[in-house]
């Protein structure tokens, strides 16, 4: 029974993490972990932005074109 409860908790945590990732993507929140993993895998020679630099760059890119959004 103990193993079953442990598996349930781990599965629920995995689903929760996935749901949070989908929600962040849906609302347009920047995902630093995904960016960092991509940069390490595809562009290892380039400097990795800090979390603050990444968020600032993403928000600037998102809001620098006011005519590109509906509201």
pLDDT score of 48: 96
pLDDT at position 20:
81
Tell me what pLDDT residue 38 has: 93
What is the per-residue pLDDT for 41? 96
Residues in the chain: 71
Give the tens place of pLDDT for each residue, 32-65. 888 999 999 999 999 999 999 998 998 888 778 7
- Tens of pLDDT, residues 9-37: 889 888 888 888 788 777 767 788 889 99
Q: How far is CA 31 from CA 7, 35, 59, 62, 71, in A?
A: 27, 6, 12, 14, 23
């Amino acid at each position: 029974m103990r193993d079953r409860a442990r598996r349930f908790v781990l599965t629920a945590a995995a689903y929760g993490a996935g749901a949070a990732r989908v929600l962040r993507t849906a609302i347009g929140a920047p995902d630093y972990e995904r960016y960092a993993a991509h940069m390490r895998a595809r562009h290892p020679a380039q400097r990795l932005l800090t979390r603050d630099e990444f968020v600032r760059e993403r928000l600037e890119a998102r809001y620098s074109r006011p005519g590109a959004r509906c509201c």
